[in-house]
Amino acid sequence: MSEFPNIRIPIGSGVEKFIDFLAENFEAFFDFIFVVSSTLIKGLEAGLLAIPWWIFIFIIFILGWYFTTLYGGLLFSFFIFLIGSFNLWPETMTTISIILISVILSLVIGIPLGIFMAFNKILSTIMRPVLDAMQTMPSFVYLIPVIFFFPLGNVPAVIATVIYALPPVSRLTELAIRNVDREVVESAQSFGSSTMQMLTKVQLPQALPTIMAGINQTTMMALAMAVVGSMVGAQGLGERVLYAINRIDISLGFEAGISIVFLAIIIDRITGGIAERLQKHRRNGS
């Protein structure tokens, strides 16, 4: 009696049938997504590679200086110089391209979703467990259905990254809008502001620092998928890490891994600096 009874609830097979249904009946839609995403990634990658290395480093220095400190700008530019000295410059530009496209798609979907959740409690109740599942499901699991819809390469990695990285910005956008001071909202309503005017001129400006924190978290989670995405053919630094694991190449593995760490530090500090500036601007304005 200590053994679990022989009961089988075939949830997995139901999901598999649903994935097969989508792959068979929406092939043209997924082909369209593949072409658009692939074109965006290749175009952005080509644009980044066309920038001379010293100009790119200078841009990082300026961003670091402006949004953090002079020391931060110098440190960030030194990190990028180190990555170039590892002979990983093209891979770094590919990784940045994948991250940027993934983050942009996550924001385009996640921020409006968070806004709708803030205004609609029913939608919020429905989406919360969905976002929980998206955030807690092992990231490797996302790769399984994605490869049914798209050829191996950067595109399935982007789609899997969007699924994994979207929840933070949606949650924090909803939270930020819900936490806007009621007195400010009531004051705007008393002056006859419409729902759209109140959202664009009152709620979003007040919520922007918290939304920026969500953007920061989404970006960091997208970067965390760099190595996982390489398992479905994504190029870049993650591919170098995976290659080093297969070849037990300690030198390459460390250099590619520390390059991802450098990117994470740069992105985290700069996006955090943007959020702090927005917070200060709001306080000074109020």
- CATH, residue 102: 1.10.3720.10
96 Cβ neighbours under 8 A, 6+ residues apart: 48, 263
Interatomic CA distance for residues 40 and 261, integer angstroms: 25
pLDDT band for position 30 (cuts 50, 70, 90):
confident
Average predicted confidence (pLDDT) for the chain: 85
Within a domain: 229: yes
Range of the domain at 37: 12-50+86-285
Within a domain: 38: yes
141 Cβ neighbours under 8 A, 6+ residues apart: none
Return the DSSP state at 180.
S
Do 99 and 158 meet the contact criterion of CB atoms below 8 Å apart?
no
pLDDT band for position 209 (cuts 50, 70, 90):
confident
pLDDT band for position 208 (cuts 50, 70, 90):
confident
Cβ count within 10 A of residue 132 = 12
Residue 36 has a pLDDT of 87
Residue 186, both tokens:
């009531």
- Comparing CA positions, the residue from 230, 247, 219, 205 lying closest to residue 102 is 219
Within a domain: 236: yes
Residue 20 has a pLDDT of 81
Within a domain: 226: yes
Within a domain: 63: no
Find the range with the poorest average confidence among 16-25, 47-56, 170-179: 16-25
Cβ count within 10 A of residue 237 = 29
Residue 286 has a pLDDT of 54
Average pLDDT over every residue of 100-122 = 90
Is the pLDDT at 53 greater than 90, yes or no? Answer: yes
Is the pLDDT at 179 greater than 90, yes or no? Answer: no
Interatomic CA distance for residues 23 and 106, integer angstroms: 22
- Can you tell me whether residue 87 is helix, strand or coil? coil
- Comparing CA positions, the residue from 170, 166, 203 lying closest to residue 187 is 203
Within a domain: 133: yes
Within a domain: 68: no
Q: Which stretches of 26-120 are DSSP H helices?
A: 27-50, 53-67, 70-85, 89-119
- Which is more confident, 286 or 140? 140
Residue 95 has a pLDDT of 92
Interatomic CA distance for residues 139 and 179, integer angstroms: 31
Interatomic CA distance for residues 67 and 283, integer angstroms: 17
Within a domain: 3: no
Residue 13 has a pLDDT of 78
Average pLDDT over every residue of 62-80 = 93
Interatomic CA distance for residues 245 and 239, integer angstroms: 10
Q: Which stretches of 199-286 are DSSP H helices?
A: 204-224, 226-229, 237-247, 250-285
* Number of domains making up the chain: 1
Distance (Å) of CA 111 to CA 212, 231, 258: 11, 29, 31
Residue 58 has a pLDDT of 95
Is the pLDDT at 132 greater than 90, yes or no? Answer: no
pTM of the model as a whole? 0.86
